[in-house]
């Protein structure tokens, strides 16, 4: 009975940023739980995600879209839903980052990061939500990828911090409007995870890398597969009474925000274990 709460058989998920890192792990997890997956990708020719989804026995479709192009993003959902009318799960995992002192941060880089991380997320959420509402679809799920920077501004990544703060507030604002319309909107805020985007930004600063690792109680960074469980949880019926939350997956890494305002993955796991025991 409890296991069936996590079954996504018959569902279709739309995932951005799924060609690598956390987005890739989440897309594969949804397929492993039974969902067909539509990938929104840039210009990467990497087929790893597609192959993993197909090996899980699920269908995989892909659409090319430059999330930094406002016009392309504005037409994306209309194009996708014209061919796939049963999408009920949306995952916004695409994101970019640039590390630079605030006083020297390039305006062009700031605008690009804001568009990809926040602007595209808003537009895709808006258009997907509108499609669901206009077609009377309920039980739909949105999962945005936020960050620990949603709660505090980290050094040398001002644009990224602003964009992820916006993703957190967008998640809560949409939940306030759409929960009553049958759309659950939540976010996952990763801690420090060994992905390309993080390795690229801290590889030249070993002292900074060590200072982060020393603050993680388990003593090492997370890995993309650590997000498979949280993704399936928030995409499934197991989270049907959860909306407007930012689920932190950080293995105890401290934030400056009170835990009473966060949905801890430890709590979610405790709830799952209790359900299984009962």
- Catalytic residue set: 160
Yes or no: say if 11 and 36 are a contact pair by the CB < 8 Å rule.
yes
- Phi first, then psi, for residue 224 (nearest 5°) are -55, -35
Q: What share of the chain is helix, strand, coil (3-state, %, to 5)?
A: 50, 15, 35
Strand partners, 142: 90, 185
Closest C-alpha among 95, 90, 68 to residue 80: 90
The Cα 160–Cα 140 span in angstroms is 28
The Cα 116–Cα 175 span in angstroms is 21
Question: What six digits make up the tokens of 122?
Answer: 């808003």
Q: Please return the burial class of 54, using the count of CB atoms within 10 Å of its CB with bins 0-12, 13-18 and 19+.
A: middle
CB atoms within 10 A of CB 105: 17
Yes or no: say if 115 and 158 are a contact pair by the CB < 8 Å rule.
no
The Cα 129–Cα 78 span in angstroms is 12
């Amino acid at each position: 009975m409890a296991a069936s709460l996590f079954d996504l058989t018959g569902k279709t998920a739309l995932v951005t940023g799924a060609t690598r890192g956390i987005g890739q792990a989440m897309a594969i997890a949804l397929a492993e739980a039974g969902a067909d997956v539509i990938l929104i990708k840039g210009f990467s020719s990497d087929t790893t995600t597609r192959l993993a989804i197909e090996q899980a026995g699920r269908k995989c479709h892909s659409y090319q879209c430059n999330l930094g192009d406002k016009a392309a993003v504005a037409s994306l959902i209309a194009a996708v839903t014209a061919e796939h009318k049963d999408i009920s799960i949306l995952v916004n995992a695409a994101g970019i980052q640039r590390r630079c002192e605030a006083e020297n941060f390039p305006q062009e880089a700031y605008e690009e990061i804001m568009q990809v991380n926040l602007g595209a997320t808003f537009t895709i959420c808006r258009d997907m939500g509108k499609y669901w509402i206009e077609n009377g679809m309920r039980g739909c799920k949105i999962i945005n990828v936020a960050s620990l920077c949603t709660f505090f501004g980290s050094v040398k990544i001002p644009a990224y911090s602003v964009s992820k703060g916006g993703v957190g507030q967008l998640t809560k604002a949409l939940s306030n409007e759409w929960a009553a319309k049958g759309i659950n909107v939540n976010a996952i805020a990763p801690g420090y995870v060994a992905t390309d985007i993080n390795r690229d930004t801290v590889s030249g600063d070993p002292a900074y890398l060590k200072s982060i690792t020393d603050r993680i109680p388990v003593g090492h960074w997370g890995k993309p597969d650590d997000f498979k469980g949280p993704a399936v949880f928030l995409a499934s019926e197991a989270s049907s009474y959860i909306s407007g939350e930012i689920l932190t997956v950080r293995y105890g890494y401290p934030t400056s925000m009170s835990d009473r305002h966060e949905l801890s993955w430890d709590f979610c796991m405790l709830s799952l274990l209790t359900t299984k025991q009962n």
